[in-house]
Each structure stands twice: as C-alpha cells, then as structure tokens.
Amino acid sequence: MGGTAERLSESAGARLGAGERARAACAVRGGGAGSGIRADDAHTTHTRSAGMGKLDDRVIVITGAARGQGEQEARLFVAEGARVVIGDVLDGPGEALAEELGEGRARFVHLDVAREDDWAGVVEAAKGAFGKIDGLVNNAGILRFNELVNTPLEEFQEVVSVNQVGCFLGIRTVAPEIAAAGGGTIVNTASYTGLTGMAFVGAYAATKHAVVGLTRVAALELAGRRIRVNAVCPGAVDTPMTNPAALDPDADPAESARAVDELYRKLVPLGRIGRPEEVARLALFLSADDSSYITGQPFVIDGGWLAGVGLF
C-alpha cells in the first residue's frame, strides 16, 4: 500500500459522506493522466443526480481541455450537470472527448487562445449550441525549460502569448457574455510558480505571476457584473506537461511512473505528484455556488510543497 499521502487520503475518504465518496471515486478512478471519469461514469452521475449537480444549467467554456487537467475539468463539470465547450489546438483528442461526453453536453471548438479571431468563434459556437455562456476556465498553457540568459526572445514571447495573452483574451471576450447571462464565474489557471520562483522556468513563472495579477484585477472590475474570478495554482500534477513520457510510445510507462514517484516522494510533503482530477475538483469548487463569497484569490493545490522548507 502507498505511503503517508495515500494513508492520509484514505482516512480523509473515510470521513466523506456516501454521495461525496461516490463522486470522488468517480473522479479519481484510474489514477494517472488521461484517466479519471469516463463518459459512462459522467452520464451515470448526471442521471443519478439529475437536478442536483453543482453546475446544473451552467454553460462553461474550458480551454486546453483536450487532455490533462482541462480534460478532467470537462468530465467532472459534465458529471455535475454543466454543458461544456472544449477549446483546444488538439482537434483530434478534443473532438473525441466531446463526442464521448455527448452532443447535448459537450462541443469541441478549435481554439488557439492566443488568437483573437478564434475566441470570437468560441462565443459563436457556444451560444449557437447552448444559447449562453456563464462560466470560463482559462486552463490552456505551455511550459518551456530554459535559463533566462539562454532563453530566445521568440520562446519567451510564445509562452507569454499562450499563458498570459490567452488568459487576457479569454477574460475580455467571455466576461461580457457571462454578464449578459446574469453573472457567473471565471477560473484562471496559474501555478505555484505564479506565487514563487523556480529556476529554469523564467518565462513560464513570469506569465503565471501575470495570471494571478489578471485574476485580482478582473475580480475587482467584474464583481459589479456578478462575475467571480479566482485562480488555481497547482504544484506538480501528473499530466503530459510534467511527464512528457506519457505521450511517448517508446517510453516504458512503469519506468516513468517509478521516476515520477521517486522524485515527488522526496519533494512534496504529501509524498506524491498531484492528479489532474484533484485540480478539477478545485476548479469545480470555484465555479460552483460553494464558493459564492470568494473572488480575486489564488488557491494553491500542491500537496504542501509551498508550505515551507522541509528538513527531511
């Protein structure tokens, strides 16, 4: 059986109510990147809780939702009664996910978040399919490793375009639609590197600090339009971004899982890498009425990594 972290999460599970346990089991099933809630689970959950989901009647745009954390957000939001618009540059996986979730529940739209024209297309597609938009999760992002002094300008600008400009364009384009629908929520995806530094990810950390700033300003400016804006700040999460071997057909999955386990057992107080389903549950909390009095805040979800300096 696993280490301290697993035992902790198991004892936390024992304290949950039956309904929450069922939902959590659904969300966590399968473990690593690309797993989690499947379409039939989502359908079952929705059917079981018809009229009782946390996002019933909501229409939510999720960027970068073809895989990783965005995919798990799309699956969980649909399970909680939402209709979702999946925007991504990865057409094949995005279309497949939308098809799996069902036409009445999900639509895929090709979206490069750095392109203004693409955002106009998202609004048109969402309103065409579902009549309104009342939520946005700005999740799309890219990571590049480089020392600052060796980072080419184009690489820095590429990261800014996707992570920072993409988030800005999302807020600017979708907030008026959310206001027109009577209010709603925006969840931006920053990072723990939006709150502290990390060597070799200068461009990325700069953009994630910017996302936290955008979150605070948007919260102030949009509160009067009944829109709450918050940010999730994940630590290390098991997706292709942190574990590119997951996408490499030649990599040995057992070997890469072992390397990931070994690294994060040492680094993270809870003793493991995070799961995309866990970030999805935080995005759900910030998109649902459970967080009705919260706006303008960054929420760290990192297994305790940022809590301080560990000795052992």
Ligand X SMILES: NC(=O)c1ccc[n+]([C@@H]2O[C@H](COP(=O)([O-])OP(=O)(O)OC[C@H]3O[C@@H](n4cnc5c(N)ncnc54)[C@H](O)[C@@H]3O)[C@@H](O)[C@H]2O)c1
Binding site for ligand X (CB under 6 A): 63-64, 66-70, 88-90, 111-114, 139-142, 162, 189, 191, 234, 236-237, 239-242, 276
Return d(Cα 124, Cα 238) in angstroms, integer: 33
Using an 8 Å Cβ cutoff, are 65 and 126 in contact?
no
Least distance CB 61 / ligand X (angstroms) = 11
Which residues make beta-bridge pairs with 61?
A: 85, 136
Q: Which residues contact 220 (CB under 8 A, 6 or more apart)?
A: 296
Q: Is 293 a catalytic residue?
A: no
Cβ closest to ligand X, residue 110 vs residue 226: 110
In the complex with ligand X, the residue whose CB is nearer, 134 or 302, is: 302
CB of 76 to ligand X, least distance (A): 13
- Minimum Å distance from CB 234 to ligand X? 4
| Run of H or E including 231 | strand 227-234
Minimum distance from CB of 174 to ligand X (Å)?
14
User: Which helix (H) or strand (E) segment is 85 a member of?
Assistant: strand 83-88
Nearer to ligand X, 82 or 231 (CB): 231
The angle formed by the CA atoms of residues 134, 231 and 37, to the nearest 5 degrees, is: 70
Please, which residue, 242 or 295, has the CB nearer to ligand X?
242
Minimum CB distance to ligand X smaller for 113 or for 219? 113
Catalytic residue among 192, 204, 264, 293: 204
- Burial string for 47-65 (b: 16+ CB within 10 Å, else e) reads eebeeebbbeebbbbbbbb
- Spell out the residues 6+ positions from residue 271 whose beta carbon is closer than 8 angstroms to its own: 3, 4, 5, 6, 264, 265, 303
Per DSSP, the three-state class of 110 is strand
Q: Is 188 helix (H, G, I), strand (E, B) or coil?
A: strand
Write out the catalytic residue numbers. 204
